[in-house]
Amino acid sequence: MDEKEILAWAEASGISVEQAREYLKKLEPLDKKEDDILREVFSGVNRPVLELSAGRGEFTRQLLEKYLKPEGKLYTTERLPEVAEKLAQAIPDKRLEVLVSDSSTLPLPDGSAGLVISRAALHDFVSDDGDVVKALEDCVRVLVPGGTFVIYDKIKDGYQDVETESAEGRMERMNVELAALEGKVCWGLHFLKDYVRLMEEMGFSDIKTTVLEMPDQPGYVRYMTGNLNERRPAYVKRWGEKVNAVLDSLAADFQKTPPRALSMAFVWGKKL
């Protein structure tokens, strides 16, 4: 376990070094399980890989460093040109190509990808009408027959009311509220069975699932509150002053919501 990582967790979350060490220790077997699944998924991939919604590129780096072959190709999508440009500059890997695109209009030929993968992104998926199957049709188009589609995302299994029982669950509702400010629909948190149904509706077969029960993160509320306070000016710039009500509501709910963690689930299947 890296001591610098422990100290960074403790400082960012406002917790003791021992609490941070204990939390990261609990993550180790889950990281191993995640690694085993990803190695299985990547084992037979001989075509380019498509990652959906790279964000800051944490998972992109992981894919390049651990799973993509030296001669492989990774496409990743970002719909905002400025975000895509920053991502390409931050990861100068010749195997990576950042596409300024969303999942519904991919600039790739039919059957050009052997694997399509989405990590902690689909629950934040925003569209005009909330039809996720329709919005992902182009991802299915670019996937070669026999190729694999992988969803790795948060689920709300284990909760009756995830927004009042989990600070992380309440946090994820914010994305639904932000989408509504633009007159759009965010898919939001779902149960594992909903992801399986989604895969079935997209026409995938041999669907497999694995759930990782994540440990509660000490200091989660403080950590996320700090992040949101830093981002508030950027949020106001994008959504206007009305976004302050969304952020203030979240901050108030945080004070009365337990810091229970959401589980992560792998759901993957084959294209016929």
In a domain, residue 256? The reply is no
Q: What is the pLDDT of residue 272?
A: 92
For residues 22 and 18, give the distance between their C-alpha atoms in angstroms, rounded to a whole number: 6
Overall number of domains in the chain = 1
In a domain, residue 171? The reply is no
For 158, the token pair is: 């284990």
In a domain, residue 38? The reply is yes
In a domain, residue 224? The reply is no
For residues 156 and 232, give the distance between their C-alpha atoms in angstroms, rounded to a whole number: 27
Question: pLDDT below 50 — which residues of the chain?
Answer: none
Three-state DSSP at 114 gives strand
What pTM was computed for the model?
A: 0.93
Q: What is the pLDDT of residue 266?
A: 98
Q: How many CB atoms lie within 10 A of CB 73?
A: 17
H helix runs in 109-212, sequence order: 132-135, 137-142, 162-165, 167-181, 192-201
In a domain, residue 235? The reply is no
Q: What is the pLDDT of residue 109?
A: 97
pLDDT in tens, 142-157: 999 999 999 999 999 9
Give the CATH number of the domain where residue 213 resides: 3.40.50.150
Alpha-carbon distance values, 42 to 2, 52, 67, 207, 239 (Å): 27, 16, 7, 16, 39
In a domain, residue 58? The reply is yes
In a domain, residue 234? The reply is no
What range does the domain containing 79 cover? Answer: 3-161+182-217+261-271
In a domain, residue 174? The reply is no
Q: What is the pLDDT of residue 55?
A: 83
